[in-house]
Amino acid sequence: MNTKVIYIIFVSICFSYNTYSQPVKKFGQLHVDGVFIKGSNDEDVMLRGVSLGWHNWWPQYYNADVINWLANDWKAEVVRAAIGVDPKRAYIKCPKRALRLASQVIDAAIRNNIYVIIDWHSHSLKQEEAKSFFSLMAQKYGAYPNVIYEIYNEPVNDTWEEVKNYSIEVIKTIRQYDPDNIILVGSPHWSQDVQIAADDPITGFDNIMYTAHFYADTHKEWLRERCNYALKKGIPIFISEYGESNASGDGTINFEELEKWYNWMDTNKISGVKWMIADKKETTAALVPHASSKGGWSESELTETGRLIRILLREKAAKSGW
């Protein structure tokens, strides 16, 4: 059945479903075993959730009310705090603001017993700044099993050698304070060259995974083949960002390719995080312009992709017995 048809059928059902997702209570401390994420009892874990937009452009959604709503109503198992690094009002120029907004999201995720990705949302190497940021994050939150670190969102012009060397230094910094929470590593060309990382992986550390990002109307079978190559070489993958349209975040939803990606993730037990909780006028944004900054969104405040991801998250929660 077409994903669009499924979406239409389930819309009214899922808006009335009221169970509460608390995956951290169920899975506890996560770890990597081969290519899989495992829970504290060695059960397989496949997380589903959503990413907030860049904190510097959509700070209004970096609050406890929004995270409460995503956990309770959307049944998100993981949320991603996309801490912008380079643009105006981002971390480099306004670090205190970035840390405050990140903490508001992380604290709320911990209270709601969901997982949270602390994402260094940059397209260029900023090694010393990243080490400083993750040192603070690991010291403050390293004792919580909720935390996942994404240390480089999408390298663009860096080689894998450069990204690998950077990643090793940032991983060392985190591991001084947090010995076991999962760390996600990006790869060149917008985190799509995972096959290159697979041929020369980072060694000497536990609980390391590699990210792949897809936008369904641009990244198709060729990217799944790269991911399959990495998996066969024992490289664990986490889809820490994906969208339903083309790589710009806009355009038509490609339901056919999106369904192929969902099936591929299910088959391989790959976790996935949808981009993005923001009210930007583009296809991948989950909210319409001026949607409430406090969560509690009505159906009319959600875009088509916002309604779709909410349904899929709630359907998974219902099947999982949350």
Q: What is the pLDDT of residues 290-304, one digit of tens each?
A: 999 999 999 999 999
User: Is residue 162 within 8 Å of residue 125, measured between CB atoms?
Assistant: yes
Q: How confident is the model at residue 32 (pLDDT cuts 50, 70, 90)?
A: very high
Strands (E), the chain: 31-33, 36-38, 44-45, 48-52, 78-84, 115-121, 147-150, 183-185, 208-215, 237-243, 272-277
Q: What is the structure's pLDDT at 319?
A: 84
> 3-class DSSP state for residue 291?
coil
**Best CA proximity match to 120, nearest among 216, 279, 241:** 241
Q: Which residue in the list 77, 241, 244, 257 is annotated as catalytic?
A: 241
Does the pLDDT of residue 162 top 50, yes or no?
yes
User: Is residue 90 within 8 Å of residue 55, measured between CB atoms?
Assistant: yes
Per-residue pLDDT tens for 109-120? 999 999 999 999
Q: Which residue in the list 154, 244, 257, 301 is annotated as catalytic?
A: 154
What residues contact residue 133 under an 8 Å CB cut-off, 6+ apart? 83, 91, 95, 98, 99, 120
Domain that holds residue 28: 3-320
Q: How confident is the model at residue 226 (pLDDT cuts 50, 70, 90)?
A: very high
What residues contact residue 234 under an 8 Å CB cut-off, 6+ apart? 34, 35
Strands lying side by side in the sheet with 36-38: 31-33, 36-38, 44-45
Q: What is the structure's pLDDT at 249?
A: 97
169 belongs to the catalytic site: no
241 belongs to the catalytic site: yes
Q: How confident is the model at residue 15 (pLDDT cuts 50, 70, 90)?
A: very low
**Best CA proximity match to 237, nearest among 284, 271, 263:** 271
Q: Which has more pLDDT, 317 or 56?
A: 56
How many CB atoms within 10 Å of residue 212?
Answer: 27
Give percent of the chain above pLDDT 70: 93
CATH number reported for the structural domain that contains residue 316 in this entry: 3.20.20.80
Q: What is the structure's pLDDT at 320?
A: 76
Q: What is the structure's pLDDT at 17?
A: 35
Across the chain, mean pLDDT equals 94
Total domains in the chain come to: 1
Can you read off the two tokens belonging to residue 78? 């993981």
Q: Which long-range contacts (CB under 8 A, 24 or more apart) does 35-38 make?
A: 35/231, 35/234, 35/235, 35/236, 35/237, 35/268, 36/236, 36/269, 37/182, 37/209, 37/236, 37/238, 37/269, 37/271
**Best CA proximity match to 241, nearest among 221, 209, 271:** 271
| pTM metric for this prediction | 0.93
Q: What is the structure's pLDDT at 19?
A: 37
